[in-house]
Amino acid sequence: MISYVDFRKDILNKKTNTVDFVKSIFIKIEEKKHLNAFISLNYENAIKQAEESDKRFSNNTPRLAEGMIVAVKDNISVKGLKMTCASKILENYEALYDATVVTKLKEAGAIIIGKCNLDEFAMGSSNENSYFGNVLNPLNEDYVPGGSSGGSAVAVAASLCHISLGSETGGSVRQPASFTGLYGVKPSYGRVSRYGLTAFGSSLDQVGIFSSNLEDLSLALDIISGEDEYDSTSVKKEKLDTLSYLNNIDENEKITIGVVDEELLKHSDFDVLEIYQNAVAKLEKAGHKIVEVEFPFSKVWIPTYYIIATAEASSNLSRYDGVRFGFRAEVEEGEDLIKLTRSQGFGAEVKRRILLGTYVLSEGHHDAFYLKALKARRVIFNNYKEIFNKVDTVFMPTTPSCAFKFNSKADNPIAMYMSDFYTASANLAGVPAISLPLGVNNDNMTIGMQLQTDNFKESEMIKYSKIIEDVLGK
C-alpha cells in the first residue's frame, strides 16, 4: 500500500482524493475478508471523515494526518463502535467515548476505518484465542500472524490501512510486527495515554503502532504522545517530535550498539540467529561500535512477566461479572450468576490467566510469588539502566522464531509463552522498543530485530532505526 507520506503528496498534486481512496480500501477489506482482520467496520463515518478531509485539502488547510487511514485494535475505545475485546462477554458492548489516542488522531485528520481482531482481552501470542476466530497471516495463511494484536498487524500487512493501533503488555505489537514484516513500536511506559485502553496488566499495558515504513510510524507516534489529564500514569513531557530526528540524519554518525551474548541467543532458531549475527557483522563493518551487554537475570524475564501480568489481569477482569454490563448468563434458581457468566463468557486462555493470577495473589502465595516478582522487576529495571550507561541502544531479536503454523503450540502453553522471551523485559522495565523487518527465512516468512533505548528516548530510537536500516537495507 502507498505510504501516507506519498498518499498525501498525491492528494496535494490532485492525483487522487480521499473519498475515492477510502472507498477503495473498503473494497479491499471485503476482498480480503477471509483474513478475519476486522471485527467491525466504520464505513459511513469514514466516508464523512474523508469528505471533510477533501474539503480541507481543497482549502489548503490540511491537518497533520489529514486523510490517514487508521485501523484500531478492538480493545481500544472508539465512540459509537463496538468494543468487544474479541470476547463473548463483550460481544455487543458499544464504546461510549474515544480513547485519548483516538481523539488525538481524529483531531489530526486521521480516518478510523474499523476495529481489529485480537486474542481475547489481549491474552495470547498467536491470535488463536479470539471469540471471532483466527486471524490469518497474509504472507502464508497456514501461519499465525502473531498476537495479541494480530488483526492490527494484518490490517497493515494486507494493505488495508496506512497505520494501525495495537496494544502491548509483553510484546503484543513487536511480535506480530516481526511475524508479518512490519515496523512495530512500543513507547516508554507513560509516554502515550492508556485512557480508553481496556486493562489487562495495568502496569505493563501500552498503546503501540504498526506501519510499513518508519515515516508513517514516526508521524503517528508524535501525534498520540504527550501527557493526558485522564491518565494518571502519563508523564509530564512534551509531545514527541521523532519526525524531525528522522528527517535530519547525519550519514556519518556512529552509534554504540549493545548486542546480546550466546547464552541469550540460544533461545533463537537458526534462521533468526543467522540474520542477527549477519546484521551485527555488517553494523560493525560500517563503523558502529559493538559492545556485548549482559542480562544476567534473563531467566526470570518470563516468570516475572507472567506473574505480574496475570495477577493484574485477575484483578482487572473481576468487573466482568454479568451484573453491571456485558454478557449475562441465563441462570436457574439457586445457580451462581457470576460463576456461570464468567464460565460461559471467557475463553480458555483468559480463564487460565485469571486462575494463575488469583493463585499468585492468594494468601500463602502472595509473598512467595507476587512480591518476589515485583522485586525481580526492579532488578531488571536497574539492569537496563546500567546497560544504557554504556550503549546508545540494545539490538536483539524480536522473537525466538518466525511465525509458526496454527495449532502447533496449542497444547503447550509454556512454549507459547516463550514467544515473548525477547520482548517482555522491555515492558517490565518500561523502556521503548521497536521491531524492524530485517530478513526472511527459506520459507519467505519474515524475521524482525528490535532496538531498545533508555526511557523516553523514542526520538533517538527512531533515528537509530533509520541509521541501522540504511546499513542493513530493508
The pLDDT value given to residue 378? 98
- Rounded to the nearest integer, the mean pLDDT of the chain is 96
> What percent of the chain stands above pLDDT 90?
94
Mean pLDDT of 110-138: 97
pTM: 0.96
pLDDT band at 251 (very low <50, low <70, confident <90, very high): confident
The pLDDT value given to residue 103? 98
Contacts 24+ apart (CB under 8 A), 436-442: 436/183, 436/465, 436/468, 436/469, 437/177, 437/178, 437/181, 437/182, 437/183, 437/474, 438/275, 438/279, 438/469, 438/472, 438/474, 439/271, 439/275, 439/279, 440/181, 441/271, 441/402, 442/271
pLDDT band at 331 (very low <50, low <70, confident <90, very high): confident
pLDDT of 141 over the 80 cut: yes
As a whole number of angstroms, the distance between CA 169 and CA 195 comes to: 15
Q: What digits encode the pLDDT tens for the residues 54-107?
A: 999 999 999 999 999 999 999 999 999 999 999 999 999 999 999 999 999 999
**123: alpha, beta or left? (left if phi > 0; alpha if psi -120 to 50):** beta
pLDDT of 334 over the 80 cut: no
The pLDDT value given to residue 375? 98
Crossing angle of the two packed helices 214-224 and 100-107, in degrees rounded to 10? 110
As a whole number of angstroms, the distance between CA 182 and CA 344 comes to: 36
The DSSP letter of residue 239 is P
Mean pLDDT of 180-184: 98
Q: Are 118 and 73 in contact (CB under 8 A)?
A: yes
**72: alpha, beta or left? (left if phi > 0; alpha if psi -120 to 50):** beta
The pLDDT value given to residue 84? 98
The pLDDT value given to residue 332? 83
Which residues does the annotation mark as catalytic?
73, 148, 172
Q: Pinpoint the alpha helices (H) of 204-336.
A: 214-224, 242-246, 262-265, 270-285, 301-316
Q: What digits encode the pLDDT tens for the residues 191-235?
A: 999 999 999 999 999 999 999 999 999 999 999 999 999 999 999
Question: Is residue 193 helix, strand or coil?
Answer: coil
Query: For domain 4-246, which CATH number applies: 3.90.1300.10, 3.40.605.10, 3.30.390.10, 3.40.50.720?
Result: 3.90.1300.10
Report residue 26 as a C-alpha cell: 473498503
> What percent of the chain stands above pLDDT 70?
100
pLDDT of 247 over the 80 cut: yes
Question: Is residue 222 helix, strand or coil?
Answer: helix
The neighbouring-strand residues paired with 111 are: 69
Segments making up each domain of the chain, as ranges = 4-246
Mean pLDDT of 298-320: 96
The neighbouring-strand residues paired with 69 are: 111
The pLDDT value given to residue 335? 84
Report residue 162 as a C-alpha cell: 496506512
The DSSP letter of residue 213 is S
pLDDT of 474 over the 60 cut: no
